[in-house]
Structure 1
Amino acid sequence: MKRRTLSLALGILLGLAGTANAQPLGAGITQNMAGLTALPLEAGTLPPPSVRNGQDIFASFRAGLAEPTCDIEATSPRWRKQFAHAPARLANQNDDALVLFGYVVEELRKASLPTEFALIPFVESGYRPNARSNAGPAGLWQFIATTARNHRVPMSEGYDGRLSAVDSTQAAVRYLKTLHGMFGGDWRLATMAYNAGEYRVLQSLRKAGMNSSNARPSDLPGLSPITYAYVEKLHALACVLENAEEQPSVMASLDRTVPVLKSHTLPAGTSVQQWAAQRALDPARIARLNPAASNSGARPKGAPVRLLAPVNPMAATAAVAQVGSGTATAAVATVQPAPDATHTVASSADRPRNRRHTVRSGESAWTIARRYGMPVKALLSLNGLSGKSVLKPGAVLRIED
């Protein structure tokens, strides 16, 4: 089917094949550890979280869903099959998907947007920053060039900001924020508009005599089958990830420490390889996360080159090395990981036997359910709660009937 484009429409790319030999950022930052010491902090300041547990990323995604529960049998078997690999991608320690997913989830949470939108890069690019389509779209979010320029993604001769995970994600979040507000907070309508263009969806709503408050997205007239399928794909993928909670091997693999990523400015005259090496990061892997800055020496006109890398590269390098290799303990003894960064799921023999639990500050349904070795859905159901419920310190939850 021929791709249709509008000035504000995004291109679609489904199931892009990834590089066969991709390696995880976590693996890369365990190298070059000799002589590494922690940097001192100013008095009275706390270090930003440098690492987090993969299960906490998953929990943040689940907590941010507009529809926290779903009936997986009501979703399309075709799309469930197509995206059945997604939990394994996140669980795979030889893949960058989890750290990139964590970055996108937190950018959406900061913008108060549903985390269903964090699934778009799974559909569009397979969460690969260097993904390209012969039809023109590129990057995590598969922007076409016109759309990228319209959303302030740096584009100039020799430099393609669509391949910047930072610039493209920030542009996508801004656009999704606009669409989410335009369509009354309906994530399905916003997703359809993201795919087909907002003007087409608005026109379809007018033809159907609907508005954002009473719209039935699947009944909107005159849109491409690809647009209807787009919503179905995201919904099926959300259900696949939700049900990954019932896969012990996946959840156990997610229970690992990964670095928190953020945007860094690449100084003029410094290459990605030099910048990474100065911070004891593996240059090849940082280059893989930042193909826009790595493919050529060109720079965007009037804009800095922004890299996606650990929040505090030195601390993240040390913390992940300590957890991952067990050989760098002496070098990182003064580095403090983020809370819960290195915990593991308790064995059945070690789990508490209390029938009630009093919520403490900072606890979530996910952490409490894991503490007692039960599914989140079971904990919520037992206490008459939903995925959107806020647990207040001091509240008492039932753990067993």
Structure 2
Amino acid sequence: MKNKTQHSKIPFSLAGLSLLFSTFFLSGCIALPFVTYEPSKQNRPTENSKYSFTPSLVIPPSSPLYVSHKAAQKTPDVTSEEQHKSDINRTFHPIIWQEMQHQFNLSIDHLGKYDQHIDSFRKKPNYLKVVTQNAKPYLHYILTQIQLRDMPYEIALLPIIESGFKPTARSNKEAGGLWQFIPSTGRLYGLEQNWWYDGRQDVIKSTQAALDYLQSLYRINNNDWLLALASYNAGPGNVRRAIRKYHKKQPQQKAQPNYWDIQPYLPKETQNYVPQLLAVSHVINHSDLFNIELEPIDNVPFFAAVPLPKQIHLKKAIQLSQVSETTFNQLNAGYLSQITPPNGEYHILLPLDKVDSFQQLIASNKALFNIQWQKHKIKRGESLGLIAQHYKTSQKEIKKLNNLKSHRIRAGKTLLIPIPNRAETTKTTLLAKTTTKQKKKVTTKKTHKVRSGDSLWRIARAYNTNVKSIRRWNNLSPSMPLKPGMKLTIWQNKPTSKTAAFARYKIQSGDSLWKIARKNSISTSTLAKYNKLSIKAYLKPGQLLKIPI
């Protein structure tokens, strides 16, 4: 990122913003008129302008982390003398637009390149008012993360182009969330997507993933933010193809072209995508002179994350938190069901002033977590009574939870099933421990050759290890970039055992092979084969089964 500098004169003129649908990797989904134009032939900003003024230098304040409620209330530690001096001279701005003013260095550095992209603000004067209202719960968190990573401030406004700051936005290419990840790229960057939850709609996880992705694109694009943004929209492959076309058409030109050099060779929407972001940053920076009203957003944390010990019904969480349903859903759009997922670590986001009382209520009300919920896909021939009997719950509760008006159900549909916690029936009774000695670990050394597009996170995932270990094994500092061809040492532990390990389970009344297999995360056929039984075998209470572990 370029150093933040003061520019004595800032020219600007009106042009247009249209929001686009992305291709290949990520896409936006805002509905504004599509503006086409011929790319500007200028290569440098101009000093010709209707307006000019001398801005004051504004140093952004340090912002708290959003790791937890307590962390959100702490002042960041001073880690160096230089940081200490910087903090002393910082000015706190109560409104976030004041905090951001004159810090949009990309739009300043490329003045004259995006004049055509501001015209639609004249036609839709209320548009920025609406999208900045949408941004209110999220913008402080996003800007804080960008400050911590020393990334351009323009990126904090990228969700305007991508989603209009709507976490549930969807494009026609199935891109979703504030940052419009398509499913495959979302999974690549750790965003879980299942029946219960979509991490692309989780403001914390999707923001971390988007900034990780953008930083990766920045590195592979020779530390050029505009090329990184073009890659975010069109995909790195399309940017590489545009560079090849540029070299083919202009073989005598510079070896490393910039965004404006390759702009004519990019997909049409990407030709507009980057200038749009620069234009919207410029207009927000000078909203008073454009007579555009922005939603006032306080320059303080809006929310904090509250970890959940177990599943919880979100309607109950809304009641306990005393937060409006609209605000709660804005902050917790990642949850697709009315229940949080049954497995894994999850949190809910609440306005900062509601966190303490909510934490006290859930700590003192253990009954909140006395019920677990599972999903059940209805099979042909099943009835509501059979399903209720199988899960040892009542038909009435299933009907209530799923808003069923009658007992009629249809095969292929999915039901939420409430299951009361019964420790004596849900825990496996192990009558004997493993029949083998403790497995020994054999450490093996592997070498990974870094390829284009690799990241430490992806490599760690591929080898079932973690980024911290890879850095330690290879003496890599957090700031050291990966380069294609670099060789990394990876150490892996391999368990060895000559015989299979198993435990014994005593069958209880109401048990079935399916139920026991599900409890122990194995297939019914594996369990039956292990015990030399038919899948349809009748089980007697007291009978012992071997459970492979």
Same fold flag (TM > 0.5): yes
User: SS of 1:139's equivalent?
Assistant: coil
Q: Classify 1:306/1:282 alpha carbon distance in 2 versus 1 (closer, same or farther; 3 Å).
A: same
Q: Which amino acid aligns with 2:180?
A: Q
2:102 touches 2:285 (CA, 8 Å); kept in 1? no
Q: Which amino acid aligns with 2:233?
A: N
CA–CA distance in 2 between the matches of 1:219 and 1:316? 55
Percent of pairs identical after alignment?
A: 24
Q: Does the residue aligned with 1:254 lie in a helix, a strand or coil?
A: coil
- Residue among 161, 166, 184 paired with 2:222: 184
Corresponding residue number in structure 2 for 1:274: 316
Query: Which of 211, 214, 217 lines up with 1:173 in the alignment?
Result: 211
Query: Residue 14 in 1 paired to residue 30 in 2?
Result: yes
Matched, 1:231 2:305: no
Q: Distance in 2 between matches of 1:164 and 1:133?
A: 17
| C-alpha deviation, 1:170, in angstroms | 1.3
Which secondary structure does the structure 2 equivalent of 1:244 belong to?
coil
* 2:350 aligned residue (284, 293, 309): 309
C-alpha displacement of 1:225: 0.6
Q: Distance in 2 between matches of 1:183 and 1:212?
A: 13
Cα distance per residue 1:201-225 (max 9 Å; x no partner): 1332244247796424353453211
Match of 1:243 in 2: 286
Could you say if the C-alpha distance between residues 4 and 195 of structure 1 is closer, same or farther in structure 2, counting changes exceeding 3 Å? closer
User: TM-score when scaled to structure 2?
Assistant: 0.44
Matching of residue 265 in structure 1 with residue 307 in structure 2? yes
Q: Rate the CA distance shift 1:89–1:316 in 2: closer, same or farther, 3 A.
A: farther
For residue 254 of structure 1, what is the aligned residue in structure 2? 296
Larger helix fraction of residues: 1
Q: Is the 8 A contact 1:274 1:283 kept in 2?
A: no
Output the amino acid matched with 1:288.
Q
Amino acid across the alignment from 1:103: Y
Corresponding letter in the other structure for 1:286: F
**Which residue identity is paired with 1:219?**
I
Which sections of structure 2, spanning at least 5 residues, go unmatched? 1-19, 33-68, 76-91, 248-252, 359-549
- Partners of 2:23 and 2:328 lie apart in 1 by 32
2:246 corresponds to which residue? 208
Is residue 2:332 matched to residue 1:290? yes
User: For structure 1, which segment, 106-115 or 59-68, has the greater mean C-alpha deviation from structure 2 after superposition?
Assistant: 59-68
Name the residue aligned to 1:347: none
In 2, Cα distance between the equivalents of 1:60 and 1:160? 32
Tell me if the contact between 2:105 and 2:152 (Cα under 8 Å) persists in the aligned partners. yes
Q: Could you tell me which residue of structure 1 aligns to residue 150 of structure 2?
A: 112
Name the count of aligned residue pairs: 281
The residue type paired with residue 199 of structure 1 is G
Distance 1:284 1:46 in 2: 23
1:186 Cα deviation from its structure 2 partner: 2.1
| CA RMSD of superposed structures (Å) | 3.9
Is the 8 Å Cα contact of residues 165 and 289 (structure 1) preserved in structure 2?
yes
How far did 1:308 drift? Answer: 3.5
Q: 2:342 and 2:183 mapped to 1: Cα distance? A: 14
Instruction: Provide the rounded CA distance (Å) in 1 between the counterparts of 2:317 and 2:200.
Output: 21
SS in 1 for 2:106: coil
CA offsets per residue over residues 280-302 of structure 1, 9 Å max, x none?
4334421232122254425285x
Q: Which residue in the other structure is 1:381 paired with?
A: none
Q: 1:62 to 1:185 in 2, by over 3 A?
A: farther
Per-residue Cα deviation, 1:127-154 (whole angstroms, up to 9, x for no partner): 0111123431211112111111111101
> Hey, what's the Cα distance between the residues in 1 that align with 2:111 and 2:163?
23
Pairing partner for 2:136 from 73, 79, 98: 98
1:110 Cα shift?
A: 1.5
Name the SS for the 2:26 alignment partner: coil
CA distance in 2, matches of 1:283, 1:212: 55
Q: What is the rounded CA distance, in whole Å, between the counterparts of 2:175 and 2:26 in structure 1?
A: 8
Say if 2:314 and 2:338, in contact at 8 Å, map to a contact too: no
Q: 2:120 aligns with which of 81, 95, 104?
A: 81
The whole-number CA distance in structure 2 between the counterparts of 1:70 and 1:217 is 13
Distance 1:211 1:127, change over 3 A: farther
From the superposition, tell whether residues 219 and 257 of structure 1 become closer, same or farther in structure 2 (CA, over 3 Å).
closer
1:125 CA drift (Å): 1.1
Structure 1 169/223 Cα, relative in aligned 2: closer, same or farther at 3 Å? Answer: same
**Partner of residue 36, structure 1:** none
1:191 to partner: Cα distance: 0.7
The CA deviation at 1:74 is 5.6
Structure 2 contact 163–169 (Cα < 8 Å) conserved: yes
Q: Does 1:61 align with 2:87?
A: no
- C-alpha contact 1:154 1:160 (8 A) present in aligned 2: yes
Q: Is 1:222–2:265 an aligned residue pair?
A: yes
Distance 1:280 1:296, change over 3 A: closer
Q: How does 1:358-377 map to 2 (within 5 A)?
A: none
Which protein has greater RCO, CA pairs closer than 8 Å, 6+ apart?
1
Q: Residue by residue, what CA displacement relative to the aligned partner does 1:319-357 show, whole Å, maximum 9, x if unpaired?
A: xxxxxxxxxxxxxxxxxxxxxxxxxxxxxxxxxxxxxxx
Q: Distance in 2 between matches of 1:121 and 1:238?
A: 12
Deviation at 1:270, TM superposition (A): 2.0
What is aligned with 2:341? Answer: 299
Q: 1:136 aligns with which of 164, 174, 177?
A: 174
SS of equivalent residue, structure 2 residue 309: coil
The CA deviation string for residues 13-40 of structure 1, in whole angstroms up to 9 with x for no partner, is 2338xxxxxxxxxxxxxxxxxxxxxxxx
Compute the displacement of 1:259 (Å): 4.5
Change (3 A) 1:259 1:208: same
Change (3 A) 1:291 1:256: closer
Give the direction of change, closer, same or farther, for the CA distance of 1:264–1:245 in structure 2 (3 Å limit): farther
Aligned-partner residue type, residue 266 of structure 1: L
Structure 1 residue corresponding to 2:160, chosen from 100, 106, 122: 122
The answer for unaligned runs of 5 or more in structure 1 is 17-40, 318-401
1:245–1:185 CA distance, 2 compared to 1 (3 A): farther
Amino acid at match of 1:304: E
Partner residue, 2:508: none
Give the Cα–Cα distance (whole angstroms) in 2 for the partners of residues 102 and 66 of structure 1.
19
**In structure 1, what is the Cα distance between the partners aligned to 2:302 and 2:268?**
38
The residue number in structure 2 matching 1:365 is none
TM-score normalised over the length of structure 1: 0.59
One-letter identity of the residue aligned with 2:272: A
For the residues of structure 1 that align with 2:284 and 2:357, how far apart are their CA atoms?
A: 27
Q: Which amino acid aligns with 1:163?
A: Q
Query: Which residue identity does 1:293 align to in structure 2?
Result: Y
Would you say the 8 A contact 1:265–1:306 is kept in 2? yes
Whole-Å Cα distance in 2 between the matches of residues 245 and 5 of structure 1?
Answer: 34
